């Protein structure tokens, strides 16, 4: 006989586990909460009144949810499936709340790998020239660009950067990334110089960009305007600078393990996507430079 599964109570317990034990970010918890509420329709009064669920009822709700999600993108369905797999795995492995591991019955749709957008070295130089031009671009904009491209920071990490995480003597940052995990980021001299200049002109004691963290929407707009001033053909966004940081390091001979540490990736698999960029670049070079290439 199946165990009585107290769905709402167990979802709350799972979210606390992910928050306090696994140190998931607030945004991740927000997505998990929404996915689980949608999957089991807990926002509807008739469903939320149901207290205990059988394993058969849980899987029936999951199948119905995937039918409702059929019109979503592959990546969105994949994320929701991953949430359900994680929830059921926790319930079975960690809490022994289920007779069977229902996560094995949740199939994540395959998502085609997309090559991340990145800038060429010339495009980076074009943006840097606008910071040194006579149009008086704010130093704040330049610093944000240099932290994202020079340090490979995530936009959330740059926005929340504190002065006590900046170590000028060692030329590094000690950044808290995803899952509240700390990593050391070595900074190039241009980024360090901009940080020192900004510290002289700003009176902020805690966060680098102000008395409170920089709003991410503001950061996106600052980066977009930087690309616009340089005349880039595609709109520029913060993550493209992080991709550019990784791509240019890999092209210059950095190994994947080093890149993994610098980017703060938990697994090497997340870093391996940049090898495709390197191979693609080699193919274009061969096509344009080799005597048998079409463009020669």
Residue 243 burial (CB count, 10 A): 22
- For the chain, give the DSSP string: -PPPEEHHHHHHHHHHHHHHTS---HHHHHHHHHHHHHHTTTTSHHHHT--EE-HHHHHHHHHHHHHHGGGS-HHHHHHHHHHHHHHHHIIIIIS---SS-GGGGPPPPP-PPPPPP---HHHHHHHHHHHHSTT---HHHHHHHHHHHHS---HHHHHT-BGGGEETTTTEEEEE-GGG-EEEEE--HHHHHHHHHHHHH---SSBTTBSSPPPHHHHHHHHHHHHHHTT-SSPP-HHHHHHHHHHHHHHTT--HHHHHHHHT-SSHHHHTHHHHHHHHHHHHHHHHHSTTSTT-
Active-site residue (options: 178, 199, 224, 273):
178
Active-site residue (options: 14, 32, 149, 274):
274
Let me know if 239 is a catalytic residue.
yes
Let me know if 265 is a catalytic residue.
yes
Let me know if 224 is a catalytic residue.
no
Active-site residue (options: 154, 183, 229, 243):
154
Active-site residue (options: 85, 242, 243, 248):
242
Let me know if 154 is a catalytic residue.
yes
Residues acting as catalytic residues = 154, 178, 239, 242, 265, 274
């Amino acid at each position: 006989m199946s165990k009585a599964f107290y769905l709402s109570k167990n979802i709350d317990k799972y979210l606390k586990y992910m928050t306090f034990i696994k140190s998931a970010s607030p945004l991740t918890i927000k997505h998990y909460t929404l996915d689980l509420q949608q999957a089991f329709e807990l926002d509807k009064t008739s469903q939320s009144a149901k207290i205990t669920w059988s394993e058969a009822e849980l899987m029936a709700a999951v199948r119905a949810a995937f039918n409702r999600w059929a019109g979503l993108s592959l990546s969105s369905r994949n994320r929701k499936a991953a949430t359900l797999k994680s929830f059921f795995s926790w319930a079975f492995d960690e809490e022994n709340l289920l007779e069977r591991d229902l996560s094995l019955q949740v199939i994540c749709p395959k998502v085609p790998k997309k090559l991340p957008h990145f800038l060429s070295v010339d495009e980076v130089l074009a943006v840097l020239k606008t910071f040194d031009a006579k149009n008086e671009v704010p130093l704040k904009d330049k610093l944000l660009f240099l932290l994202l491209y020079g340090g490979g920071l995530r936009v959330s990490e740059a926005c929340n950067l504190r002065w006590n995480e900046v170590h000028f003597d060692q030329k590094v940052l000690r950044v808290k990334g995803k899952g509240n995990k700390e990593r050391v980021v070595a900074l190039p001299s241009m980024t360090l110089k901009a940080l020192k200049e900004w510290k002289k002109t700003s009176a902020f004691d805690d966060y680098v960009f102000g008395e409170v963290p920089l709003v991410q929407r503001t950061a996106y707009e600052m980066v977009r305007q930087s690309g616009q001033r340089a005349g880039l053909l595609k709109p520029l966004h913060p993550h493209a600078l992080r991709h550019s940081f990784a791509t240019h390091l890999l092209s210059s001979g950095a190994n994947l393990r080093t890149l993994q540490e610098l980017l703060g990736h938990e697994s090497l698999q997340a870093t391996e996507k940049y090898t495709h960029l390197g191979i693609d670049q080699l193919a274009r070079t061969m096509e344009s430079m080799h005597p048998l290439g079409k463009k020669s």
